[in-house]
Structure 1
Amino acid sequence: MAELLEDLSASFSRHLRAEGRAPRTAVLYGQSIRFYGNWLTKQGLEPTVDNLTRDLIREWLAVLHETNAAGTVLTRWRGLRRFCGWLVAEEILDAHPMKGITQPTPPAPPVPVLTDADLAALIKACKGKTFRDRRDEAVIRLLLDCGVRVSELVGLRVSDVDLDAESAIVTGKGSKVRAVYFGARTSQAIDRYLRERRKQRHAHLEALFIGERGATTDFGVREILKVRGAAAGITDRLNPHRFRHTFAHDFLLAGGQERDLKRLAGWTSDAMLERYGASAADARAKEAATRLRRGDRV
């Protein structure tokens, strides 16, 4: 008679203790084995090693995907895979039944977009006439209006910006060059910054954004956002990526076309649309449904 998974699970747990694995790890791995065995029983199958097959494991994982979060499915996958590996090492199984069953990849949690109140508070936090005030407002407005990567922002040169055309040329990943566009208030903020920039000792540099030590770096931009975010009362971690997500959300919410967003954001893959568009997808769906209520028009 084939050995019961429950009995083998006990031996596996002792093996984990001998390896010095954390007790919590043993518990999680044991849960994967127990839950799989319970599922087999519900299918009218014996919870034995004979039913630890690739096809049945695939079916079980598919059921888990329907009723559990992706992170939970990944935990169950890891536990059962580790158990199967031990069975092969102990020569209880000839081959690993999970070979070829790829690891589930939990989606990245949506990045919260910045609200109008957040943005107004950030701009207010930069109000002033000092060089830093002018620079920081220009940085924030460019991130908001253009959704550029932080590397693209710090890579901007003074000559890349055309204030009359309200546009700039950025160099993205793979040295790909594209145009981005901003509004009149951002143009005004950059103009004010450039007037103060001319008075600085690093004004001779090509880099658009400069500080006391020279050209502004990625870290410098993150520090600007950290300081201004704290002054604005934004308690969530504020970073350049949140502006990129906010830009994508606002563009789609306003009815912008996905192909245009790909071009403006410098993406070549549709997967990036899915990733960045997920930040506030429910809000956009609700807005679209509200606009399209046919019953309210008849």
Structure 2
Amino acid sequence: MSGARLRAEQLEAWQNNLRHECNVSPHTLSAYLRDLDKLDKHLEPSDTWQSLKTKDISHVLGELHRKGLEARSLHRWLSSVRSFYDFLLRQGLADHNPAKGIQGPQTAKTLPKVLDADQVSGMLDMTCDSPLLIRDHAILELFYSAGIRLSELVGLNVGDVVLNDGQARVLGKGSKERDVLIGSKARQALEKWLTVRSSFANEGETALFVSKNGKRISQRQVQVRIKEWGKRHGLDMPLHPHMLRHSFASHILESSGDLRAVQEMLGHSDISTTQVYTHLDFQHLADVYDKTHPRARKKD
């Protein structure tokens, strides 16, 4: 069997493992396969995955860098290659992971953009009459109230939300369930949406949020509607679901200083992921300092 044919068969086995055993999303699966395809295109027909050495992976990494692939994408590419080789090792199809230990290029830390509390209030403190706007309002309130991810919101079913208790159960990354809190404003918006949801939802549809065709709303539809909402309310930057999640985390941390609590609320498995919000909090303090300290303010 040719090396190229063997590579293709082992990639297919990994794909089946990701889809059926690891339950990764179609979006994640597609990203993994694109990354491995970048590596495969640099190989000779006779090469096998087992035959590759660390220097081969480093060479391809350098080629991708020279072609303009950004540092963040290169790190993801390395992660995909390592994950694939870990699978080969578990299956006895390789005896080493040539991507292990390779360092990707340094990335500049960029802080997520957040809204301040007044901006959020300006967008959400309103009364909606149109069923579609009632739905969109409930979506935005829930994003900001619970700090959930886009995939978690879209995956919610009616039965996952207990408004009397102010809680919802979401399915996060790695198929991990967690309970999130729903504030009073979001509860009111959801109650209003549930009174008109039946005018949209198809019979038997379990999704909490549905589109005009009566089926579960898609992630893309939510992104488009939220962006339009931001434009309509005069926001000077594109509004997206993750901005609301970032704003939620920043505002909670700013008020409480409890990083562990924010980690739990966001569903981060590693607290280092949550620590970016400590930078946001410090940035806020620095802004206040510059504006209020007598010896910090610039003279007019």
State the TM-score bracket (shorter-chain normalisation).
Answer: 0.5 to 0.7
Residue equivalent to 1:197: 197
Report what 1:230 is aligned to: 231
Q: Deviations for 1:226-256, whole angstroms, at most 9, x for unmatched residues?
A: 1101101112121111111111111111114
SS at match of 2:106: coil
2:182 paired with 1:182: yes
Alignment CA distance shift 1:230-1:203 (3 Å) = farther
* In 1: Cα distance, 2:188 partner to 2:178 partner: 22
State the TM-score, normalized to the length of structure 1. 0.59
What are the equivalent positions in structure 2 for 1:143-292 lying under 5 Å apart? Answer: 143-202=143-202, 204-213=204-213, 214-284=215-285
Is contact 1:168-1:180 (8 Å) kept? yes
Larger radius of gyration: 1
Work out the CA distance in 1 between the residues paired with 2:208 and 2:167. 14
CA distance in 2, matches of 1:113, 1:235: 12
Matched letter for residue 261 of structure 1: V
1:30-61 per-residue CA deviation (whole Å, 9 max, x = no partner) reads xxxxxxxxxxxxxxxxxxxxxxxxxxxxxxxx
Are the counterparts in 1 of residues 231 and 238 from structure 2 also a CA contact under 8 Å? Answer: no
Deviation at 1:130, TM superposition (A): 1.5
8 Å contact 2:170–2:179 — kept in the other structure? yes
Q: Normalized against structure 2, the TM-score is what?
A: 0.58
Residues in 2 aligned to 1:232 and 1:276: alpha-carbon distance in whole angstroms: 26
Q: CA deviation at 1:190?
A: 0.2
Q: Secondary structure at the match of 1:263?
A: helix
- Residue 210 of structure 1 aligns to a residue in which SS? coil
Distance in 2 separating the partners of 1:118 and 1:224:
18
Aligned Cα root-mean-square deviation (Å): 2.7
Q: What code does the residue aligned with 1:176 have?
A: K
- In structure 1, C-alpha distance between the alignment counterparts of 2:183 and 2:102, rounded to whole Å: 50
Return closer, same or farther for 1:133/1:246 CA change in 2, 3 Å cut-off.
Answer: same
Question: What does the per-residue CA deviation read over 1:75-101, in whole Å, with 9 as the maximum and x for residues that have no partner?
Answer: xxxxxxxxxxxxxxxxxxxxxxxxx99
Extract unaligned runs of 5+ from structure 1. 1-69, 72-99, 289-298
In 1, Cα distance between the equivalents of 2:161 and 2:129?
A: 22
Task: Say whether the 8 Å CA contact 2:253–2:277 is kept in structure 1.
Answer: no
Taking structure 1 as reference, are residues 207 and 231 closer, same or farther at Cα in structure 2, changes over 3 Å only? same
| Partner Cα separation in structure 2 for residue 200 and residue 101 of structure 1 | 51
Structure 2: gaps of 5 or more residues: 1-70, 73-100, 290-300
* Pairwise CA distance, 1:271: 1.9
